[in-house]
Structure 1
Amino acid sequence: MTRSELIAILIEKNPHLQLREATLLVNTVFGGITSSLAAGNRVELRGFGAFSVKEREPRLGRNPKTGEQVKVSKKLVPFFKTGKELHQRLNKADEA
């Protein structure tokens, strides 16, 4: 699902919302999550999951073209862990 598809669903389920308002809502939610992660905080949406930031240690990698070793510096990467309710809904499909 893309951002525009999410906005379209939001408008469909809430006909009183205009495109501009729905876009602002979606951008505000994603912007809040992004800002919080950038500040090093964890974002938890009960029943859905939790977003956090993990640190990858520096390591030696390889240039796939030349095969030579390259130093890769430490990085901060976003991490998502599903909530219990989402996990159960996803795995319910496997049981059928």
Structure 2
Amino acid sequence: MNKAELIAKIAEQAELSKADAARALKSFEEAVTEAMKNGDKISIVGFGSFETSTRAARTGRNPQTGKEIQIPAATIPKFKAGKALRDSVN
């Protein structure tokens, strides 16, 4: 499912116009992004939680040359599915 299909599904289920559903999805994306930039954790009971994790700097290897390279530390987004979501998928 791509973004356009998701917007259409939201519009159908919530009885909204596609434009309203698109604005709602965009607002959700922006709210989650802003919270994660600030280091906050977002928990949606039954669905899952969004948070950030810090990956330490490490030494890696270029697979083409075999030369060692330094991989810098990074902050990465993580999503952990909630129990209700896991149960419904299984």
Give runs of aligned pairs for residues 1-96 of structure 1, distance below 5 A: 1-15=1-15, 17-91=16-90
TM-score by length of 2: 0.91
Structure 1 stretches of 5 or more lacking a match? Answer: 92-96
CA distance in 1, matches of 2:82, 2:18: 30
- Paired amino acid for 2:7: I
Instruction: After TM superposition, give the deviation of residue 2 of structure 1 in Å.
Output: 1.6
What SS is found at the alignment partner of 2:78?
A: strand
* Structure 1 stretch displaced more, 47-56 or 6-15: 6-15
Runs (4+) of structure 1 exceeding 2 A deviation are none
- The number of aligned residues is 90
Structure 2 stretches of 5 or more lacking a match? Answer: none
CA distance in 1, matches of 2:2, 2:44: 19
TM-score by length of 1: 0.85
Identical-residue share of aligned pairs (%): 32
